Structure 1
Amino acid sequence: MTCYVLRPMVADDLAAVVTIERGCHQHPWTSHLFERELANPLSRMTVVVVEEEIVGYLCVWIVAGEAEIHNIATARHWQRRGVASFVMEALFRQLREEGIGRLLLEVRASNLAALELYQRWGFETSCRRNGYYQDGEDALLMHCELSISSS
């Protein structure tokens, strides 16, 4: 069984992260954008590592008691192997522990793999932004209410 490790992203990770980003997204973030996120106090950047190889990453913002996924990706050769589910499970656990009750995101309407993942984790579509992206594609805004257990 593969052992995934989640750890904070550091500047030395950027080359691997940008490579994954370019392989996964039609309109990828630049290295500069990732550097800005690393310096942003609202942003939490994490990477998923398997035997020293970065296989995925997550960028989430925590603002006013809510969390918002800004970017998430898994290296192509690691997709459909549980990496994204591992990230989501860890994120949900962490947010619940911190008392954060709502998780938000925006996704391209055509990103069926992402939509499948988000729906499996309980996300619902809040609204559709027609023609939102520069290429005219619609964006879906989604949310998930996190049950916070009192312990």
Structure 2
Amino acid sequence: MIIAETRDIVTCLALRRTVFIEEQGVSEADELDDLDQAATHLLATLDGRPVGCARLLTDGGTGKIGRVCVLAEARGTGLGAALIRAAIGHFAAGGQVDVVKLGAQTHALAFYEKLGFSAYGPIYDDAGIPHRDMALTL
């Protein structure tokens, strides 16, 4: 598996469409926004095929990991954890971020906790899916 920064937003959007819109039933209006052009995108490939991605944004000293998705066929392979570790590494290497945040679907809280994130605040609805905010101090 290879995880690298990419400018291929079209491929990332196609992965997100498959996972979020087609699989999870998120509306296109909720999935698409105007932040993709300003973001750093990580693309995960397995045997040369795109299978996952994440979108990274920075706001002052806070890094935000979002739009994390892995195709069903690649789940359970460790790729998702590697994608999150790469995102954390990206923020740590930049030297300007001291906390990394994300909004986790509640079924994935334990996954992110194993990677060092802590949940805070109440459960909230995002695009019809229960979420909770999480943070990791660098």
Fold shared, TM-score > 0.5 on shorter chain:
yes
- Per the shorter chain, which TM-score range? 0.7 to 0.9
How many residue pairs get matched? 136
Structure 2 Cα separation of the partners of residues 76 and 127 of structure 1: 29
Q: Where do 4+ consecutive residues of structure 1 move more than 6 Å? A: none
TM-score by length of 1: 0.75
Output one character per residue of 1:104-127: Cα deviation in whole Å (capped at 9) or x when no partner. Answer: 111233x2xx21220001111111
TM-score (norm 2): 0.81
Partner of 1:19: 18
| % identical aligned pairs | 14
Structure with the higher strand share, 1 or 2? 2
1:126 paired residue number: 120
Q: Is the 8 A contact 1:23 1:76 kept in 2?
A: no
Counterpart position of 1:115 = 109
Deviates more, 1:11-20 or 1:78-87: 11-20
Structure 2: 5+ residue runs without aligned partners? none
Task: Report the RMSD for the aligned CA atoms in angstroms.
Answer: 2.6
- Counterpart of 2:133 in structure 1 is 141
Write the letter of the residue equivalent to 1:141. D
Instruction: Give ranges in structure 1 of 5+ residues lacking alignment.
Output: 147-151
Distance, in Å, in 1 between the alignment partners of 2:127 and 2:81 is: 29
The one-letter code sitting in structure 1 at the alignment partner of 2:137 is E
Partners of 2:80 and 2:16 lie apart in 1 by: 15
8 A contact 2:101–2:133 mirrored in 1: yes
